[in-house]
């Protein structure tokens, strides 16, 4: 099955749903990245995570980036 004709299969996806999907995927990626950093710190003794503040700032910056890109996508 090719994705070239996916509109026939799925139909038109509303822009709001597209934006929410992209934002949700970004949030999931941020969480997986933090798991990765914590796992490496635990398993290999690295210092990727410098504390709770570092984790919260990383997540906030990632979500703000997703929000900016979502707004820019909606404007195109």
The full set of domain ranges for the chain reads 14-75
The H helix count followed by the E strand count for the chain is 3, 0
Residue 11 has φ and ψ, to the nearest 5°, of 95, 180
Per the CB < 8 A criterion, the answer to whether 26 and 62 are in contact is yes
> Of 31, 35, 36, which is closest to residue 66 (Cα–Cα)?
31
What pLDDT is recorded for position 16? 85
**Which parts of the chain register pLDDT below 50?**
none
Model pTM score: 0.74
Q: How many CB atoms lie within 10 A of CB 45?
A: 7
């Amino acid at each position: 099955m090719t994705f070239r004709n996916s509109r026939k299969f799925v139909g038109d996806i509303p822009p709001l749903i597209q934006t929410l999907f992209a934002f949700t995927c970004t949030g999931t990626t941020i969480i997986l990245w933090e798991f990765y950093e914590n796992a490496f710190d635990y398993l290999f003794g690295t210092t990727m995570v410098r504390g709770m503040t570092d984790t919260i700032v990383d997540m906030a910056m990632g979500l703000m980036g997703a929000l900016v890109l979502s707004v820019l996508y909606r404007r195109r």
